[in-house]
Amino acid sequence: MTHFFKQYPLSLLITCVIFYLSLCTVPETEMDDIPFIDKWAHVCMYGGLSGVLWIEYSKFHHSIRFKQVIFPTVIFPLLLSGIMELLQAYCTTTRNGDWLDMAANSLGVILGTVIGYFIIFPIIKKKKR
């Protein structure tokens, strides 16, 4: 378990930030007038988490083993997303669980995974040579 903390420290930090941001009361800002700004924030948070997971995975692995990479880069962020939406719905009074937020989170994970697989992993692998 300690090797996980050593290999994924930034991902764990981002997970804590997502946890906090998902449960805190968000103040109103001028950006609230931008259409779908909330959904874009969700795409960025979960796409960023998935991308950072790919970076940290790539630093310690020479090849992609799908059984090893699927959980940290895809399943974990999707589970986190679902858990956070349920916590917002049932454990807060200022936030709501939202299926569209879950869809935006999933889109972020998909984008982060595509970028991780086709861009991040090849770049880091090339630099290791």
- Write out pLDDT tens, residues 23-67: 998 888 888 889 999 999 999 999 999 999 999 999 988 899 988
pLDDT tops 90 at residue 97: yes
Predicted TM-score of the model (pTM): 0.92
Decide if 30 is inside a domain: no
User: What is the DSSP secondary-structure string of 67-84?
Assistant: HHHHIIIIIHHHHHHHHH
Please work out, in degrees rounded to the nearest 5, the angle formed at the alpha carbon of residue 122 by the alpha carbons of 120 and 126: 120
- What is the average pLDDT value for the chain, to the nearest integer? 93
Decide if 31 is inside a domain: no
Q: How many domains does the chain have?
A: 1
pLDDT tops 80 at residue 129: no
Decide if 29 is inside a domain: no
Q: Give percent of the chain above pLDDT 70.
A: 99
CA dist., res. 43 & res. 110, Å (int): 9
Which residues form the domain of 52?
2-22+37-128
